[in-house]
A and B are shown apart, each in its own frame.
Chain A
């Protein structure tokens, strides 16, 4: 980010930036930077809070009125802590693997995939309601059913089917994983039986409690042992967050 500022300013364009990692900005020394104490992924701080976002935005833009630099200014306020602990209500939403129709012939993988299918089916109606209400979704390429199918096919070593504009199986798996996670989050947002979880609660729930999280970890394991270099890289870095691997 700071490097872009250097390149653009050298070409005659005044720049200002938001900084999420103060140490990097101190090293790179871009012309104008506002450090904010927010979590990665939320440079403007709070979703659905226009007044807070406007304060952050103006604080970054007002650096243009300073006479000289480089300048690195700290935004004074962190986002308020979320008061509601959503842990219990979230945990009740997942489909535990043991809820799958049990059959002595089923392998552990089959049980997991069965629970995963049930979970996707249950969450689908909440996702659809949210989609109708909002009018759009963050899902980019794979409908919930298509994402589920691709991941299950991969686990079962079936041929993968994905859109032509996606260049490789590795990219398809990555996009399906992202879209599946977006689907779960948007489903949870629509339900009346829980409070909005903070990011760490959602991540804990998704990766540790849902069948979807376990399926993605299974996909990761297969990728790590693949002969395909792209799949190995995807499995190693791009499917499961560092703190959940």
Chain B
């Protein structure tokens, strides 16, 4: 699907960080991995705090969450939300992940998943990301799936 103007030009002007290193961590086969989702769609539990500022903060989404538990308070008006309204898996594929665990395509689903609001500056997310790393390792996660919006 070709992206339409003026969105294409807008995105082209967004700051895009570069990195001098290329970190690469190996692990077991996919069928043995424990997978967590990190979304940047600005989704969170209905009872949690909305995303109000581009501060790089995150929200926790426990694996028991269902479609009706999550809402989206992302700042941007420039992406489609109707897909999420029809089916949360088009943004946050937790049901699909559970199915992959059931048929042993992956090892297991993490207890906790996380959400950022992607409009935040990448540098703002760095501190939170490093904190998340400890939480994910504590949850025995060895496969993180990052899903944009």
Contact = CB atoms under 8 A, between A and B. Distances in A.
Contact of A10 (B23, B90, B147): B23
A53 B90 contact: yes
A192 to B, nearest CB: 17
Given A57-B96, A140-B50, A18 B146 contact: yes
Q: How large is the interface on A (under 10, 10 to 19, 20 to 34, 35 or more residues)?
A: 35 or more
Contacts, number: 249
A37 B38 contact: no
Contacts of A4: 38, 40, 116, 122, 125, 129, 146
Interface residues of B, number: 82
Interface in B36-91: 38, 40, 46, 49-50, 52, 67-68, 71-73, 75-87, 89-91
B27 A64 contact: yes
Contacts of A29: 18-19, 22
Interface centre among B18, B80, B143, by most chain A C-beta atoms within 10 angstroms, is B80
A119 interface: no
Interface of B: 1, 3-7, 10-12, 14, 16-19, 21-27, 29-30, 33, 35, 38, 40, 46, 49-50, 52, 67-68, 71-73, 75-87, 89-91, 93, 95-97, 99-100, 105-106, 116, 118, 122-123, 125-126, 129-130, 132-134, 136-137, 141-149
5 contacts: A1-B118, A44-B93, A78-B1, A139-B71, A240-B77
